[in-house]
Amino acid sequence: MQFGIFSVSDITTDPTTGRTPTEAQRIKDIVTIAKHAEEVGLDVFALGEHHNEPFFSSSPTTTLAYIAAQTSTLQLSTATTLITTNDPVKIAEDFAMLQHLADGRVDLTLGRGNTGPVYPWFGKDIRAGIPLAIENYALLNKLWREHTVDWQGKYRTPLQGFTSTPRPLDEVPPFVWHGSIRSPEIAEQAAYYGDGFFANHIFWPASHTQQMVQLYRQRFEHYGHGTADQAIVGLGGQVFLNKNSQQAVKQFRPYFDNAPVYGHGPSLEDFTSQTPLTVGSPQQVIDKTLGFREYVGDYQRQLFLLDHAGLPTKMVLEQLDLLGSEVVPVLRKEFAALKPAHVPDAPTHASLIAAKAAKDAKKEEVKA
C-alpha cells in the first residue's frame, strides 16, 4: 500500500501569528515539504491545480518536474488535474514529458475541480462539467495509446492524423486515478476504463465514501477488469499529530477554526467525529486510518493533507516526522497483514510495464 501526502496549495494567513507567506515562499516551501516526505519514507506526493487566489499551483507539472530532479523514489501525482478545463492534448503532452523526466515516477488524478469561475476563464461551461470530463478523458486515453489519432467530439476542434509527443515512456501511459467527492458518473468512468478511483474523503461522512467506492467496485467487476475487491482505490484524509492528544487539539484548533474551507462552521470536535479528520496522537491516527478499511475494503493508496489552513512549514515538517516514524510503519504492517493475496498493490511504472508485457505475450500465443 502506498502512503503519502497531498497539497491543495493554499496560501493562508497563520491565525496564531497573523503572517501570510508570499507566493514565492509558499512555492519554495512545497518543494521542501515534498523532499522531506521522501526523506521520512513516504511513497507519494500529490499537488493540486488551481487558477485562482488564494492558491499558487496553476502548473503542477512544472513543480513536480522540479521535485523529480531532487528526489529518487517519490511517486509524483496530482490532486487534481482539471480534465474539464484543460485541453486533453496538452495534458497528454505535459504528463508524458514529466514521465520521461521522472523516470516513470508519475501518475495523475483527474477531476472537475471545485471552483466554478474556472470554467468561463478557460472558455468552458460549468453546466457541461460531466460531459466534458467524459469526452476529454476519452481523447486523452486515446492519445496515449494510439500513435496516430483521428478524432472528433463536441467540445474541441477535431484532430486528423495527430501524434502526441513525446510518446509515453516505454509505451506505457501514466496510471490515471479519477477523483470525485460526489459524482457517481466519475466512479462509473473510472470503472469503465479499469482505472483507479480516488475518493477525497475529507469533508464527507464514512457512509457517503462507502457508497461511492462500492459503486466503483461493482462497476469495475461489471466491465470485466477483475473482481470488485481487486479494483484500485485511493483515499484522501487529513491529520494533525502530537505525541500528546490534548496538545494536538490545542495546537490545531486555531487553524481549524479559521481554515478557508471549514472554518467558522462545525466545531473541531463535531468535525472529527463525523468525518475522517483525525487530530490527536499517532495511535489515534493509526486506529482511525485502519478503520477506513472497514467501509471501503482493501485499498491501495492513502494520502494525507498536512499543509492546509496556514500551518507554518516548520510545523508541517514536524508532522511529517511523526507520520513517517510512528504512523506509517505501523499502518504498512497492519494493512499488509490484512490484505488478501489476490488484491493488487498500487500500480507503478514497473508493474504497468510487466502487465503490458504479459498482455503482449498472451496476444502472441493466441496468434500462434
Residue recorded with cell 474541441? 156
Mind listing the pLDDT tens digit for each residue in 173-196?
A: 999 999 988 899 999 999 999 999
Query: Among positive and negative, which fits the CA dihedral 310, 322, 296, 225?
Result: positive
Extended strands (E) in the chain: 2-7, 44-47, 75-78, 81-82, 107-111, 149-151, 159-162, 175-180, 196-199, 233-235, 239-241, 278-280, 301-305
Cα–Cα distance measured from residue 276 to residue 61, given in angstroms and rounded to the nearest whole number:
29
**How many C-beta neighbours within 10 Å does residue 166 have?**
11
Q: How confident is the model at residue 77 (pLDDT cuts 50, 70, 90)?
A: very high
Tell me: pLDDT of 211 over 90: yes
Residue whose C-alpha cell is 467525529? 273
Q: What is the pLDDT of residues 49-70, one digit of tens each?
A: 999 999 999 999 999 999 999 9
Model confidence at 36: pLDDT above 80: yes
User: pLDDT grade, residue 132 (50/70/90)?
Assistant: very high
Q: Please tell me the predicted confidence (pLDDT) of residue 113.
A: 78
Single-letter residue type at 292: F
Question: How far is it, in rounded angstroms, from Cα 303 to Cα 305?
Answer: 7
Q: Which is it for the CA torsion 171, 41, 197, 67, positive or negative?
A: negative
In 3D, which of 158, 152, 136, 151 has the Cα closest to residue 84?
136
Please state the rounded mean pLDDT for residues 189-217.
Answer: 94
All residues at 6 or more sequence positions from 137 whose CB lies less than 8 Å from its CB, including other chains: 83, 88, 110, 176, 178, 189, 193
C-alpha cell recorded at residue 160: 486528423
Q: Is the pLDDT at 115 greater than 90, yes or no?
A: no
First to last CA, the chain: 38
- pLDDT tier at 84, thresholds 50, 70, 90: very high
For residue 354, the model assigns a pLDDT of: 96
Residue 365, pLDDT > 90, answer no
Please name each of the domains of the chain with its CATH number: 2-367 (3.20.20.30)
354 Cβ contact list (under 8 Å, min separation 6): none
Packing angle of the helix pair 206-222, 282-296 (nearest 10 deg): 40
pTM of the complete model: 0.96
Listed in sequence order, the residues at least 6 apart from 12 whose beta carbon sits closer than 8 Å to its beta carbon are 20, 54, 259, 260, 308, 309, 310
- Phi, psi dihedral angles at 196 (to 5 degrees): -85, 155
Under the banding of pLDDT at 50, 70 and 90, the label for residue 294 is very high
Cα-trace Rg, the chain: 20
pLDDT band at 212 (very low <50, low <70, confident <90, very high): very high
According to the model, what pLDDT value does residue 366 have? 82
pLDDT, position 368: 72
